[in-house]
Amino acid sequence: MRILITGVAGFLGSHLSDRLLADGHEIVGLDNFITGNPQNIAHLMGNERFSFYRHDVSHYIFVPGKVDAVLHFASPASPNPQSPAGYFNLPIQTMKAGALGTHNCLGVAKANEARFLLASTSEIYGDPLVHPQTEDYSGNVDPVGPRAVYDEAKRFAESITMAYYRYHRVDTRIVRIFNTYGPRMDLEDGRALPNLLKQALLGQPLTVYGDGSQTRSFCYVDDLIDGIVKLLYSDEHLPVNIGSQHEISLLQFAEAINRITGNKSGIVFVENARSARDPQQRQPDITRARNILKWEPRASLDEGIKKTVPYFKEKLGVE
């Protein structure tokens, strides 16, 4: 297939390009580098089956030639309020990527009679009252809170995707992505893994908010990409959770990172001053992915962190 990927220079977009190129497809990549990193796709620039256009998806999208699939991954995604690339500091751009960007990408898919895949997020569940989260759960969200620019952009994106499927019969898919980590992720992302792994490799004590009882589940990027590709190749139109079901408290996670990296500086607990509505629990129910896609993650947390450490060391300039 000839596949259009938006947000191609992002963490997931670049890994997705690697996998689909390896599968024999041709990739047309779009990115405006507002949060994407040109270094993530530098190794692809000489590949004759990869072409790149610098473009903002909130504007009309023109792609020369026919495309067979459109994968919409363009959006700020970092919850770090201190990061200039985080959605707290790019609120309008985030809403535009989810609303106008999704509309434009669906237009390309419709015009080309191509299949369409939306990168949605576990954030559409908000601070969940149901645990683990199934795709049927409608969420516990605050439409005017500080996180709403990301949550509601993705919720709208899902709604318009299903509208194009039902009204225009566009061949759509929706993946709800849970916490993912691995090489090429932004070290200033603001999520637990980059924060803690960076501190550990610098020999610093790890910062845990509150008592560390809040939980997350972490999926290694190669496993996540495998699930997304299986969904792309499937005929499933309803949303599918892709992520790890191995739930772990942030305190346990910090202890694991110190153990794996050999960091002896310990852990410090600080007042839980995280952003309002920061979810206290996050774990996917992946029954639908198991049944429909025959997918589940394979890499253990220890294996995934060990594969991620060399990238972080390189970026931090440590041995």
- Residue whose C-alpha is closest to residue 182's, from 224, 148, 217, 138: 224
Provide the Cα torsion 158, 9, 316, 319; round to 10°.
110
User: Cβ(93)–Cβ(34) under 8 Å?
Assistant: yes
Cα 104 from Cα 184, distance rounded (Å): 27
Question: What single-letter amino acid sits at 256?
Answer: A
Of 150, 165, 181, 220, which residue is the catalytic one?
Answer: 150
Return the SS3 of 146: coil
Strand partners of residue 126 = 140
311 catalytic? Reply is no
Q: Could you identify the residue written with the tokens 């839980």? A: 272
Cα 144 from Cα 169, distance rounded (Å): 32
Catalytically active residues are 150
